[in-house]
Amino acid sequence: MPHLPTPRGPLSAAVLALLRNVPGSVTCAGAAVHPDVSAIADPLSDDDLHLALYCCYELHYRGFDGVDERWEWDPALLTLRARLEAVFARGLDDALAGWRAPAADAATMDLALRAIADADEAPSLSRHLETRGTLEQYREFLVHRSAYQLKEADPHSWAIGRLWGPPKAALVEVQADEYGGGDPARVHAELFARTLTALGVDEAYGAYLDLLPGVTLATVNLMSFFGLHRRHRGRIVGHLALFEMTSSIPNRRYATGLRRLGVDHPDAVAFFDEHVTADAVHENIAAVDLAGGLVRQEPELAGDVLYGARALVELDGRWAAALLEAWEREGTALLRAPLAVGA
């Protein structure tokens, strides 16, 4: 079980102070759960805000060593989380304010999602790693991705119980594959852990939380935020669809780049190789059967599906840009450098 991270500012300090306390001991009206959020300059990448949110959400996944599990549903914690989520949500709305969603109905949802993917002009991290990335940059890339990949698929699984009929069957079809189709060794998060080990990176869940910047944690908080709220079921579905639609080609590049660097141990490349063919299957199911299927049942969710997809493009683009900019100046996008591999 991961350890609690070190606070980075007043927001993460507020969350971590709660978690060291006894559940039920803090009132919802108290100052402890109403910290000042006016100082947040960028709600899509603020280091303090996103560590705070990440810790709130982590209570729903694996929890933290020494933290009372009842905090997950403690009203004071949820009051604080809602305050942080409101800032994040407003930041997303502001970032997407100039975006016009493509017209779409159930039968054309795949086309509209593809239009969002095709309009993505963010710099390509996968092209860089394929052709020029160093082993050290690969390791940093894996450390960033570990925030999600060690719980790969889990944020989208929250939606299963909120769907019914064809889109539910489609989501389960994708998720069953993500979880190894009954074989624990083929669970995608497990394949990723073996990749970390093969490249000399600590595979322990949460090992690098203190190193991860807000721009990285925001990409995971986006999924948890959409996944944990039933009212955002359209958004988490759109997120998954676009995630799958933009996965197979980058993963092929990641594997090619590793082999270029002479890394061809099966454990090092299996995760990426698996995702090339797996996501070539998933993308069709997610776009047509899941996203299209949901909008066929609930046409009013079309806008939410596309919003979730566009929000993914927005945050992943910012994350990729942060890494590429750091590497351009031969630095790191992690909060602490150099990365102590395996430490």
Partner 1 sequence: MTTPVTRITPYRDGPLLIRGPFTITDQDGRDIETHQGTVALCRCGRSARKPFCDGTHKVVGFRAASAAQWES
Specify the stretch interacting with partner 1 by CB under 8 A; choose among 70-78, 126-134, 280-288, 318-326.
Answer: 280-288
Shortest Cβ 187–partner 1 spacing (Å):
12
When asked if residue 176 is in the footprint of partner 1 (CB under 8 A), the reply is yes
Which member of 8, 81, 114, 168 binds partner 1 (CB under 8 A)? 114
By beta-carbon proximity to partner 1, the closer residue of 79 and 284 is 284
Least separation in angstroms between residue 117's CB and partner 1 is 8
Residues numbered 134-173 forming contacts with partner 1, rule: CB under 8 A: 173
d(CA 33, CA 47): 19
Q: Contacts with partner 1: how many residues (CB under 8 A)?
A: 24
Among 263, 284, 297, 335, binds partner 1 (CB under 8 A): 284
Tokens standing for residue 36 = 């000042």
- DSSP state at residue 341: T
Closest CA to 226 of 120, 154, 298: 154
Give the residue with the Cβ less far from partner 1, 39 or 176: 176
1 touches partner 1 by CB under 8 A: no
CA distance 298 to 283: 21
Question: Nearer to partner 1 by C-beta: 135 or 280?
Answer: 280
At 312, give phi and psi (nearest 5°): -60, -45
CB of 278 to partner 1, least distance (A): 6
Site membership for partner 1, residue 115 (CB under 8 A) = no
Contact between 249 and partner 1 per CB under 8 A: yes
Residue 187, interface with partner 1 (CB under 8 A)? Answer: no
DSSP 338: S
Q: Which is nearer to partner 1, 85 or 274 (CB)?
A: 274
Cβ closer to partner 1: 74 or 177? 177
The 51-90 contact track toward partner 1, x by CB under 8 A, reads ----------------------------------------
Cβ atoms of 163 and 232 within 8 Å: the answer is: no
d(CA 168, CA 41): 39
Binding range to partner 1, per CB under 8 A, among 31-39, 106-114, 200-208, 325-333: 106-114
- Which among 35-43, 243-251, 261-269, 317-325 is the span making contact with partner 1, rule CB under 8 A? 243-251
Separation of alpha carbons 325 and 332, rounded Å: 9
**Cβ 313 vs Cβ 220: under 8 Å:** no
Please select the residue that binds partner 1; options are 110, 130, 154, 316, rule is CB under 8 A. Answer: 110
> What region does 84 belong to: left with phi over 0, alpha with psi -120 to 50, or beta?
alpha
Distance CA 19, CA 17 (A): 6
- Which burial class, exposed, middle or buried, applies to 118 when counting CB atoms under 10 A from its CB (0-12, 13-18, 19+)? exposed
> Does residue 188 interact with partner 1 by CB under 8 A?
no
User: What minimum distance in Å lies between the beta carbon of 249 and partner 1?
Assistant: 5
* Tokens linked to 155: 């944020």
**Binding of partner 1 at residue 277 (CB under 8 A)?**
yes
Pick one of 279, 304, 314, 316: the residue that binds partner 1 (CB under 8 A): 279
Beta-carbon neighbour count of residue 295 at 10 Å?
A: 27
Cis peptide leading into residue 338 (ω within 30°): yes
Structure tokens at 336: 């602490």
Question: What is the rounded distance in angstroms from the CA atom of residue 56 to the CA atom of residue 35?
Answer: 15
Contacting range for partner 1; rule: CB under 8 A; set: 53-61, 94-102, 110-118, 224-232: 110-118
CA distances from 204 to 165, 201, 221, 342 (A): 37, 9, 20, 10
Q: Which residues bind partner 1 (CB under 8 A)?
A: 110-111, 114, 173, 176-177, 181, 186, 245, 247-249, 252, 274, 276-281, 283-285, 288
